[in-house]
Amino acid sequence: MSNERTAAELKHARAVREMFSGIASKYDFLNHFLSINIDKRWRRLVSAKLKDVLNDENTLVLDVACGTGDLAIELQKGGKAKVFGTDFCRQMLEIAFDKNDKTGVAIPYTEADGMNLSFAANSFDAVTIAFGLRNFSNWQSGLIELHRILKPQGKLVVLEFSTPVLPGFRELFQFYFSNILPRIGGAVSG
């Protein structure tokens, strides 16, 4: 699918790719440490949400912006469906391929930009994206692209951070994400 993008969007995509290339070897540690391992629970919840899809061996599931493969692996462990992963950062995918060997799964990974996927329309029974939508240069166009490859009546699951609405917790969240998280992330990632 040809998805015309502006020069600014392409520049943003290059910057994101370079950033992830630079932290690929530390990404899993950072993700688990900075989320206090809550990210693992969230991935299990995504898998549970897709239980009916994952239990059907005739279904196809795509994890977009799959990074090092954690969600794709969780989805594959969750059932009989055929799970695929795509990411536009080769260094992240290399770690995902290594995890295939370590976990005994055989997930096919493809280097691809989530905003311009080569899959035919209506290809997948479910599409997931975890902590990746925020990195798209244009999230609205990204959602349109994900919807394009989704079969009619298919399921799209987006796992992403949002600001809590509960007073007190909202302020704590904003303080952590504005003051603590950037300092820890910067110190660990260099």
Q: What averages of pLDDT result for each successive group of 10 residues across the chain (190 residues)?
A: 76 86 82 79 94 96 98 94 97 96 95 96 98 91 97 96 75 76 66
pLDDT of residue 54: 97
Q: Give the other-Cβ count within 10 Å of 163's Cβ.
A: 9
Which amino acid is present at 82? K
pLDDT of residue 190: 60
pLDDT of residue 13: 87
pLDDT of residue 148: 98
Q: Residue 3: which of 144, 132, 125 has the closest Cα?
A: 144
pLDDT of residue 185: 62
Q: Read off φ and ψ for residue 104, nearest 5 degrees.
A: 80, 15
pLDDT of residue 107: 98
Q: How many angstroms separate the CA atoms of 86 and 109, rounded?
A: 6
pLDDT of residue 109: 98
Q: Where are the chain's structural domains?
A: 7-159, 164-190
User: Is residue 156 classed exposed, middle or buried when 0-12, 13-18 and 19+ CB atoms within 10 A define those classes?
Assistant: middle
Q: What is the CATH number of domain 7-159?
A: 3.40.50.150
